[in-house]
A and B are shown apart, each in its own frame.
Chain A
Amino acid sequence: MTLDAKIPQGPLAEKWSKHKFDLKLVNPANKRKYDIIIVGTGLAGASAAATLGELGYNVKAFCFQDSPRRAHSIAAQGGINAAKNYQNDGDSVFRLFYDTIKGGDYRARESNVHRLAEVSVNIIDQCVAQGVPFAREYGGLLDNRSFGGSQVSRTFYARGQTGQQLLLGAYSALNRQIHAGKVKMYTRHEMLDVVTIDGHAKGIVTRNMLTGAIDTHAGHAVLLCTGGYSNVFYLSTNAIGSNVTAAWRAHKRGAFFGNPCYTQIHPTCIPVTGDHQSKLTLMSESLRNDGRVWAPKTVEIAEQLRKGTLKADQVKEDDRDYFLERKYPAFGNLVPRDVASRNAKEMVEEGKGVGGSGFAVFLDFADAIKRLGEETVKAKYGNLFDMYIQITDENPYKQPMRIYPAVHYTMGGLWVDYNLSTTIPGLYALGECNFSDHGANRLGASALMQGLSDGYFVIPYTLGDYLAKIGPKKVDTNHPAFAATKKDVVDHVNKLLALKGTKTTNEYHRELGHIMWEYCGMARTDEGLRKAKGLIQALKADFWKNAIVTGENEEVNASLERAGRVADFIELGELMIDDALMRKESCGGHFRVESQTADGEALRDDENFAFVAAWEFKGENQPEELHKEQLTFEAVHLSQRNYA
């Protein structure tokens, strides 16, 4: 099949307006004849469920947590971008669009990104109207801060808990529709497959995580809002439950997977302390507004710091290398995430890492505290500092934080066209779950923007067009496709439960994570990736022979849940390796050692790689087929990114 991104004709700035007019509408009285299934209740899922319920559709929403409010969007800290230009500092829709395209290293689709920038302003208005308590100035108006990859202040925030407040806003809108009977909420349910009839998505199969009941649900369309797959690395800033299963099972039913190797390594996370570690904790990018990143100038000083014979605050100013400020004077500490991460890694490789393990650099607030006072710093970042103290037992008001990059976000995801439709008609992907807006690197404060943009302002329009075209004929779970898909799910569950080997699924997951981090992490080589492919294939074979899964299906069974997710992560890991091998250029978060500039920056190859890689599943243990969506740029000129 050929990929059609369905990008509307016409000038970039008019595409979305024109498209909205061209889309078919479902009249208000007919909307109640349509059933919509939404999987995941983070920013994208909750906002879509609430909005579609308000419009009059019948919505069934699913989440694996005990409440829709727990989705991992809740953990986003720093903020949400919007081209409001409230600060009068030169922002505009075009500038937000431009920064996002450039930040993504020219590997995103122009039309989608422009639409995102356009609707960004509506998101802020919507959230304020819901009662989201954004930070404000003394005059009562909204406050902004700066984020990486931009030279304007366009980030709206709610202390260090912006994701929480935005999600609770969307959750409240969702609750209102649940109360009104327009949304039926299924908590502690995990989606295990998509049901297709004549090539169209018509429902899902779920497992009730309390009783083990495997059920089918029918609808006119299915929306996957199931987040990213950072947990393929085992250690990431994602929640423990975050997983790829819904997206992966959809992929195996025919939804192409876009740019799987594009993962974001966030520069400022709390370093790993030992093998027991179950997750990594992010320290918001907003800290780089006031914190200065540095490493000791010499290996000797670094050694003393590692041994503890020298304390960070005893290192003389002349012996410190503020490497981001030195190399990138224009953006300083606020370079994009991929650039900041790679530079920290470089310092560590040169032997200048600090902390017990040597895998860390400093993020120092001494100057900010001197300039602003401890109280102001506390008001801005207090909750982050508290979290740091809890985890490390060190006080960042007195000594610099130790930070190191960690996997944080996946730009790749299910391939979608301009309407957010996957290659299975009727199956949509929203938010982090899709590949669409961030290219090869996402700018800070843009994930919340995209999730809410997709859910509140894009899907309500584009979904209507599809529904109007297929008509309201009832979809029934009595169709044999439902029974057949359910049987596949039951077989898969039984296959997992039969595993009574010697290694826990957690151990397999950790091993997978090691392989991915080592060979498909911050730097990737042809040789390493080839090796990793073999390692993953061996791991997969071993998993299906030697894993241990305890308990039964008909009960609460965390062991079974985990086993299914790890099995899917292993398969995804192999596809990520294939994608990274194929993409011989460097771009954004995908750094191929063979392709770099003289200064060690990511070197793109626009002639050969200015495309989206969309992978098609061809059967178990078969190589996937690569499809290319060529990226064309009309509004921006492709150039080597330069933040110096």
Chain B
Amino acid sequence: MSNGNMNLTLKVWRQKNAQTSGKFVSYKAENISPDMSFLEMLDVVNESLTHKGDEPINFDHDCREGICGMCSLYINGHPHGPKRGITTCQLHMRTFHDGETITIEPWRAEAFPIVKDLAVDRSAFDRIQQAGGYVSVNTGGVPDGNAIPIPKVIADEAFNSATCIGCGACVAACKNASAMLFVSAKITQLGLLPQGQPERYRRVQSMVAQMDEEGFGSCTNTGACEAECPKEIKLTNIARMNNDYFSAKLFREDEVHEQGH
């Protein structure tokens, strides 16, 4: 089924589940086309494993167009591989050369336990969003869309933060496994927009509290998260979050307290 001329060696992390220990296993990936995506290359390997009756390599993936955030993979020491601004599913084999050995690991962070092989449990991200990543409006009874004018620059800036796909590359890239880029992106999006103002200071406190509870580390301003983020979310989001957080802690405890549930 393959139709290319690249031959590669893969060193893949195999681990049955979070309770057992894992190890690297080497595989050959043969006749790989440079036009294949990285995940299609893994498909080829998995097809041949299946034919041999071996268990295929488990990895998370879904949309394969860089937007769902499901694919992960730590490739040759980089989340989503060596290229900037893309997810693993958009990484193509032309980035590698014939004969190369490629090391493939899962995201490694205490707050992301291994599910199997290369897939991890990122439900901590959902719980952080559930703690406050929203504007509390019910369906219906909202004003007309154009009743809330928003300067284009503000809307564009909020959009930049809103492009986060929740993949977890920022955590995987960070030596402290910090989730602050992820958390700050939502806080910045809603903090910039007029719709997000009423709950701005409560939101930052509850999301940060949940982030800490999940066991993510602290930010060291190294910037590895920004460098590896497939959507190029900026470090300035973290600065905004810290600003709101300190502001909330210093001046708005009462307000936050009254709004809390």
CB within 8 Å of B: which residues of A? 47, 50-51, 54, 65-70, 72, 74-75, 84, 86, 122, 124-131, 133-142, 158-159, 161, 163-165, 168, 171-173, 175-176, 178-180, 185, 187, 210, 237, 239-241, 273-279, 281-282, 386-387, 390-391, 393, 456-457, 460, 500, 502, 504, 506-507, 548, 550-551, 555-556, 558-559
Instruction: State the majority secondary structure of interface residues on B.
Output: loop
Shortest beta-carbon distance from B165 to chain A in Å: 8
The answer, among A136, A172, A279, A391, for a CB contact under 8 Å with B152, is: A136
Tell me how many residue pairs across A and B have CB atoms closer than 8 Å. 230
> Given the interface contacts A70-B70, A172-B134, does A133 sit within 8 Å of B193 by beta carbon?
yes
A176 to B186, CA, bound (A): 14
Q: List 18 A-B contacts (CB under 8 A).
A: A66-B60, A69-B166, A84-B145, A130-B134, A130-B195, A136-B155, A137-B152, A140-B149, A173-B134, A179-B130, A387-B66, A390-B86, A457-B139, A457-B140, A504-B47, A506-B47, A550-B56, A558-B56
B135 to A65, Cβ gap below 8 A? no
The answer, among A51, A187, A555, for a CB contact under 8 Å with B116, is: A555
B63 to A239, Cβ gap below 8 A? yes
The residues of B that contact A393 with a CB separation of less than 8 Å are: 92, 94
B62 to A175, Cβ gap below 8 A? no
The residues of A that contact B121 with a CB separation of less than 8 Å are: 66
Quick one: CB contact mask for B104-135 with A, threshold 8 Å, 1 for yes? 00000000000110010111011001111111
Query: Known contacts A126-B137, A140-B150, A161-B163; can you find 20 more A-B pairs with CB under 8 A?
Result: A47-B139, A67-B123, A67-B125, A140-B151, A172-B133, A175-B130, A175-B134, A185-B126, A210-B115, A274-B4, A278-B64, A390-B90, A391-B90, A393-B92, A456-B139, A457-B139, A506-B43, A548-B50, A551-B55, A555-B116
Most chain B C-beta atoms within 10 Å of own C-beta, residue among A126, A168, A555, A556: A168
* A-contacting 9-mer, from B32-40, B217-225, B243-251: B32-40
B136 to A176, Cβ gap below 8 A? yes
The residues of A that contact B35 with a CB separation of less than 8 Å are: 273-274, 276
The residues of B that contact A134 with a CB separation of less than 8 Å are: 145, 155
Shortest beta-carbon distance from B77 to chain A in Å: 21
B166 to A239, Cβ gap below 8 A? no
Q: Is B21 an interface residue (CB 8 A)?
A: no
The residues of B that contact A50 with a CB separation of less than 8 Å are: 139
Q: Is B76 an interface residue (CB 8 A)?
A: no
> Given the interface contacts A278-B64, A390-B90, does A68 sit within 8 Å of B131 by beta carbon?
no
Shortest beta-carbon distance from B85 to chain A in Å: 8
Most chain A C-beta atoms within 10 Å of own C-beta, residue among B50, B60, B165, B190: B50
The answer, among B126, B151, B156, for a CB contact under 8 Å with A68, is: B126
A134 to B189, CA, bound (A): 12
A571 to B53, CA, bound (A): 26
Shortest beta-carbon distance from B84 to chain A in Å: 11
The residues of B that contact A86 with a CB separation of less than 8 Å are: 146
A68 to B66, CA, bound (A): 17
Shortest beta-carbon distance from A182 to chain B in Å: 11
Most chain B C-beta atoms within 10 Å of own C-beta, residue among A68, A128, A548: A128
Q: Could you tell me how many residues of chain B have their Cβ less than 8 Å away from some Cβ of chain A?
A: 82
A592 to B86, CA, bound (A): 41
B134 to A556, Cβ gap below 8 A? no
Shortest beta-carbon distance from B112 to chain A in Å: 11
A237 to B63, CA, bound (A): 8
The answer, among B51, B60, B136, for a CB contact under 8 Å with A504, is: B51
The residues of A that contact B51 with a CB separation of less than 8 Å are: 502, 504, 548
A133 to B92, Cβ gap below 8 A? no
> Given the interface contacts A141-B149, A550-B56, does A175 sit within 8 Å of B68 by beta carbon?
no
> Given the interface contacts A67-B126, A70-B69, A164-B163, does A550 sit within 8 Å of B145 by beta carbon?
no
A424 to B44, CA, bound (A): 42
Instruction: Identify which of residues 136-162 in chain B touch chain A, using a CB-to-CB cut-off of 8 Å.
Output: 136-140, 142-146, 148-152, 155-156, 158-159, 162
Closest 10 CB pairs of A and B: A140-B149, A172-B134, A129-B142, A133-B159, A556-B116, A128-B145, A239-B62, A51-B139, A239-B63, A175-B130
A555 to B189, CA, bound (A): 38
The answer, among B43, B150, B156, for a CB contact under 8 Å with A278, is: B43
A548 to B53, Cβ gap below 8 A? yes
A275 to B63, Cβ gap below 8 A? no
Most chain A C-beta atoms within 10 Å of own C-beta, residue among B64, B66, B67, B115: B67
The answer, among A74, A131, A390, A551, for a CB contact under 8 Å with B67, is: A74
The residues of A that contact B64 with a CB separation of less than 8 Å are: 239-240, 278-279, 281
Q: Is B258 an interface residue (CB 8 A)?
A: no
A131 to B43, Cβ gap below 8 A? no
A237 to B2, CA, bound (A): 21
Q: Is B3 an interface residue (CB 8 A)?
A: yes
A501 to B57, CA, bound (A): 20
Shortest beta-carbon distance from A333 to chain B in Å: 23
The residues of A that contact B56 with a CB separation of less than 8 Å are: 550, 558-559
> Given the interface contacts A131-B189, A133-B158, A175-B134, does A275 sit within 8 Å of B92 by beta carbon?
no
Quick one: CB contact mask for B1-29 with A, threshold 8 Å, 1 for yes? 11110000000000011000000000000
A54 to B115, Cβ gap below 8 A? no
A75 to B67, Cβ gap below 8 A? yes
A139 to B148, CA, bound (A): 11
Instruction: Identify which of residues 168-205 in chain B touch chain A, using a CB-to-CB cut-off of 8 Å.
Output: 189-190, 193, 195-196
The answer, among B36, B68, B115, B156, for a CB contact under 8 Å with A75, is: B68
A65 to B121, CA, bound (A): 11
B155 to A274, Cβ gap below 8 A? no
Shortest beta-carbon distance from A233 to chain B in Å: 15
B162 to A281, Cβ gap below 8 A? no
The residues of B that contact A68 with a CB separation of less than 8 Å are: 126
Quick one: CB contact mask for B92-110 with A, threshold 8 Å, 1 for yes? 1010000000000000000
The residues of A that contact B142 with a CB separation of less than 8 Å are: 125-126, 128-129
A504 to B50, Cβ gap below 8 A? yes
A47 to B139, CA, bound (A): 9
The residues of A that contact B253 with a CB separation of less than 8 Å are: none
The residues of B that contact A168 with a CB separation of less than 8 Å are: 162
Chain A residue at smallest Cβ distance from B146: A141
B138 to A387, Cβ gap below 8 A? no
Q: Is B254 an interface residue (CB 8 A)?
A: no
Chain B residue at smallest Cβ distance from A123: B145
A386 to B148, CA, bound (A): 32
> Given the interface contacts A72-B63, A135-B155, does A66 sit within 8 Å of B123 by beta carbon?
yes
